[in-house]
A and B are shown apart, each in its own frame.
Chain A
């Protein structure tokens, strides 16, 4: 069964450094998403991406964050100048052609900021 894959599974970074989290969505999906989950809390929406542009973003997704689809398979989340409170699980998801289709999630990247 096709799945969303994310790398790395765990990223440890010094505060103030930049990180890039990588995702390979399901191959025939057109909508891509990033979510985060701080330990013990709800999964929170960050951003959705369609047709090579951001279609929706939350108040969490400020200028520190950016997303990119650099080629036909990868979808990345960049966090510039990381802060301690950026420590969380970051999940990538993708869905098929239309909105209101199931979003399928990867297993996440655990980001630890020291």
Chain B
């Protein structure tokens, strides 16, 4: 099983550069995926979602890519800004109304 601890994978990115955050999901039956952003002291904030019948979806400055073959999800943030510093979680839904969250990735934007 996965190990869970206090230390999250950290991505340090220069302000203005693009960020890519990766997530491996576990359930091949999952048909809906969400990326959330969590800032310190706040709840998960919805960023973008994608259904399993798509492999790419774009939002404002963000793009989610889904590769069902290898059960991989990624979030691309264009022109990263200091306000993008947060923990990012992917979450999957296998159709039963419960979201299963990944461990999270810390993004640190360097001004």
Contact = CB atoms under 8 A, between A and B. Distances in A.
Interface of A: 4, 6, 31, 33, 35, 39-45, 48, 50, 55-56, 58, 91, 99-100, 102-108
Chain A CB within 10 A, most for which of B45, B46, B93, B98? B98
B101 A99 contact: no
B97 A102 contact: no
Contacts of A48: 97-98
A56 B96 contact: yes
Nearest to B103: A42
Contacts, number: 63
B31 A43 contact: no
Interface in B1-20: 4-6
A42 B45 contact: no
Contact of B34 (A45, A91, A103): A103
Given A40-B5, A40-B6, A42-B103, A102 B44 contact: no
